[in-house]
Each structure stands twice: as C-alpha cells, then as structure tokens.
Structure 1
Amino acid sequence: MKTLGIFRHAKSDWNDARLRDFDRPLNKRGRKGAAIMGEHIRNDGRAWKRILASPAVRVTQTIELASEAAGMAPPVSWDRRIYLANSATLMDLLREQEGDPASIMLIGHNPGLEDLIFDLVPDDGTSPLRDVVEEKFPTAAYAVLELDIDSWDDIDENCGRITHLVRPRDLDPALGPSLTD
C-alpha cells in the first residue's frame, strides 16, 4: 500500500491583472489558510517521504507559510509539470518516482488535483469523502488517499480510497466561501 497526500495551494490574489497566472501570490485569506493547514498537516502526524510541488508563486508561498506554521522545513522537489497538470500527467509523474517511497505529497492546482482524486477513488457510493470533493476541492484543501498498490509504477484508476479530508473552513469557519474574495 502507498499513501498519497494532495494539498491544493491556498487562495490567490487576483488584484494585479498584469501578473501572469504563474506569478499570482496569495491573498490575505490564503496566507491565513496556508498557515492553519500547515498546523493541521503537522498535527495529522504523517511523515511524507517525498513532496512534489508546482513552482508557481501561490504554491511556493503556500508551502512556505504552511511549513513556518508547522515549525518544519521539509525538502520539496519542484516540478514545472505539476503547474496546471491534468490527472494523467500527475499519474505519470507519480509512476516515474525513483526509490519507491511509501508516501508522496503532491502540492499544486485544480482541476488536476481534484480530477486525480476522482480517477483514483471509485465512484461507487462507498466514500462520503469523495462526495465532499465532488462538491468542491477548495483552495488549501488537504486529502490523504490510501492506494492499493505495491509500487508507484502500479498507480491506476480506481486503486484508492480517501481516508482524510480537511478544508480550511473545517478548522476556521471564517476561511469558508466569501463573496468578497
């Protein structure tokens, strides 16, 4: 069995229309969300053997703030392919991981991360957490999937189940949907 963590970047700032999408930073709510999720991920107690992340500014800031709040500085492998990747690309990236770590956390963007969850977790009515993701996998959401595979080479559709899902609003209702952000 392998464990896959999926952490979506926190809420980004859209105020500067001159910025490329890749360069958008976090907004105030996003900075707070990244920090609270970093504390939660630390308290969740999982030791991620490998962290793969998009190098987009909003992802790097999410990781910095989450790591600072958690009091740790995990090594991160930056991979440009994660930026706006679809599910198939993310699965290919996981398949090529050397050393076959027991756990990997992906930090990136939607819709790719959400679609990856849909592809890995069967839509058979047995996963209430999958149903929550179907409603929305919001910014700074964190999910943990257990995959029924022996090697990352074996990752394929319908091989997993969601065992943990937390959104920022689950930890602080003020971080929920807002008409002003």
Structure 2
Amino acid sequence: MKRLILMRHAKSDWSGGPNSDHERPLNKRGRRSSAALGDWLREQELEPDQVLCSSAIRTHETLLRLSLPEDLPVTLTRDLYLAEPEEMLAVLRSATGDCVLMLAHNPGSSITARRLLAQVPEHPRFSAYPTGATLVADFDIDKWQDLRWGSGVCCDFVVPRDLPAADS
C-alpha cells in the first residue's frame, strides 16, 4: 500500500515583489493556511516519509510552514513547477517512500488529483482545487512505478477554509 498527500501550495503574494513567477512568496493568509495544514496533518496522524516539492518559492515556503520533521527527505525539483499531470505522474513514479507528500501547482494538481482517483470526493471545492487544497489517497501497489490513473482511493480532502486555524 502506498499513500499520497497531494497538496497545492498555499495562497501566494501577487503584490509585485519579485519579477519572476517562480520567486513569488506566500502572502499572510498563505502563511497561516500552511501552518494550519501542518497542524491538520499531525492531527490526522499523516506522516509523510518523503517529500517531492516544486522548487518555486511559494511551494517551498508552504512546505517549511507545515513544520514537518527536519530529517524528512525532501526533493525540490523544477520538474513540478507548473507541471502537467503526466509530468507529475512521472515524478511520483520515482518516489521511494510509503507516504509521499507532493507539493505543486494548479492546474496540474487539480487534474492529477481527479485522474488518480477511482472516485472523487463529494467536497464542494474539490474540482476547483484552491490554494492549500490537500488530497490524501491510498493506492494498492507495492511500488510507485506501478501507479496508474484511476487507481486511487480518496481517504480525505481538505482546503484551508475547512480549518479554523487558517482564518485566525
């Protein structure tokens, strides 16, 4: 059994700052949401043993604010920056952990989440996959290389607005 935690980065700052989209940081709400998502992961006892994260500033900052264990293996890769579903699948197939947190962007995260699941959750925000959206899915496989579209079972789905701490 393998578990995927597929998270879209938290809300980013569009106020000007860096010239590059890749260098855009989180805004205040995004920083709060990231911390709240980290709390939610711990409350749900969801402990990734590997992280695959886009190299963009906003995804890396989201990851840091989750406050996961410091010794957790993290791969920052440009391959997940604005990646299409096929690219995301290829990166995931290279994973070695049993519970992998993948942090990426839309529209790739949204489409990948839909395509991975045999049945999508009835959450009203699933199809939009807003910033901070987090899917937890299980796959009946022994190794990530065997991952196929439509094979996942949704265990949970949450968006920051579902979490009281994200709005405080």
| Normalised TM-score (structure 1) | 0.83
Q: If you compute each CA radius of gyration, which structure gives the higher value, 1 or 2?
A: 1
Distance 2:85 2:49 in 1: 21
Corresponding residue for 1:179? none
> What is aligned with 2:36?
36
| Identity over aligned pairs, percent | 34
Match of 2:132 in 1: 140
Deviation per CA, 1:53-109: give whole Å up to 9, x if none: 011011111111221xx6x33331111100101111111112223xx4222110111
Distance 1:174 1:106, change over 3 A: closer
1:163 CA displacement: 0.7
Letter in 2 for 1:133: F
Segments of structure 1 that go 5 or more residues without pairing to the other structure are 176-181
Q: CA RMSD in A?
A: 2.0
Code of the residue aligned with 1:84 in structure 2: it is L
- Residue 128 to residue 92, structure 1, CA distance change in 2 (3 Å): same
- The size of the alignment, in residue pairs, is 166
Structure 2 spans left out of the alignment, 5+ residues: none
1:104 lines up with 2:82 in the alignment: no
Determine the structure 2 residue equivalent to 1:172: 164
Task: Give the match's secondary structure for 1:90.
Answer: helix
Q: How many angstroms apart in 2 are the aligned matches of 1:148 and 1:128?
A: 22
User: 1:132 deviation in Å?
Assistant: 4.1
Larger proportion of helix: 1
Give the whole-Å Cα distance in 2 for the aligned partners of 1:60 and 1:132.
24
Between 80-89 and 143-152, the greater mean CA deviation after superposition: 143-152
Residue equivalent to 1:80: 78
